[in-house]
Amino acid sequence: MARKLFIAANWKMNLSAQQGTALASELAGSVSSDWSVEVAVCPPNVYLSIVHTALEGSAIRLGAQNVYYESNGAFTGQVSPAMLVDIGCDYVIIGHSETRHTIEPHEGDALINRKVLAALAGNLKVILCIGETLDQREQEHTESVLNAQLSAGLANVDSNLAQKITIAYEPVWAIGTGKTATTEQAQQAHAFVRARLGELLSPAAAERICIQYGGSVKPNNAAELLAQPDVDGALVGGAGLKADVFLEIIKAGL
């Protein structure tokens, strides 16, 4: 089954309200709904509403960078799936390497799974990030790490929800470092992830699920990465903060 490429920008904790609005407006005016690529931007929560307004009428979807698993109540600082849907989000990133390894307290697989289940139940599409550290790769633990993160992250997920799930394979050593996985490394990891999705969900679900690559994707490496048979898109950090640069990456997928 042909999978539509999906390219998303994770703005992380960057840009001002004015810069975010300008970036979203420029992208909205440049990305055509005829393009064969799904495009999304994931601004900080405080800018979701203004970016949603800037994207109105465009082909670009809105995503958040995290979510909490409860629907409401005394959970200071958190946002629920329903709140993200209410503000116009289609997507949410869950399990990003910075929430797993950098921001304290680190998120573990059990928490990530609760978030995945709550987001799907709340009608959000999930971008579940997985990836090994440099140490784990050097010790040849890449596949066992991916397997553990995938199995735990997708525990109790109904295989009929495959169309609402994207997996982002993001080797931690490639995020924000300028080091990109080679096309062979990316394809090998993606093929492994797809095979495991087949066992965890169903072969049909595995064929359907988009597996993005993330980790220093730039205009000069995007086309080669996106040409790999199991690379179905990209999750882009730094290169998603400038309209012309992000557009070049999107166009590499056309």
Q: How many CB atoms lie within 10 A of CB 73?
A: 8
| Whether 141 is catalytic | no
Nearest distance from residue 114's CB to ligand PEP, in Å? Answer: 21
| Residue 233: strand pairing partners | 6
**Could you list the residues that contact ligand PEP (CB under 6 A)?**
10, 170, 175-176, 214-217, 235-239
Residue nearest to ligand PEP (CB): 237
Nearest distance from residue 214's CB to ligand PEP, in Å? Answer: 4
Burial of 163 (0-12, 13-18, 19+ CB in 10 A): exposed
Query: Measured between alpha carbons, how far is 118 from 160 in angstroms, rounded to an integer?
Result: 16
In the bound state with ligand PEP, the residue whose beta carbon lies nearer, of 167 and 239, is 239
CA quadruple 241, 6, 84, 52: dihedral, nearest 10: 50
| Whether 170 is catalytic | yes
Nearest distance from residue 198's CB to ligand PEP, in Å? Answer: 25
In the bound state with ligand PEP, the residue whose beta carbon lies nearer, of 20 and 201, is 20
Nearest distance from residue 127's CB to ligand PEP, in Å? Answer: 9
Indicate which residue of 38, 98, 132, 170 is catalytic.
170
Indicate which residue of 96, 107, 132, 190 is catalytic.
96
108: left (phi over 0), alpha (psi -120 to 50) or beta: beta
Nearest distance from residue 184's CB to ligand PEP, in Å? Answer: 19
Catalytic residue IDs: 96, 170
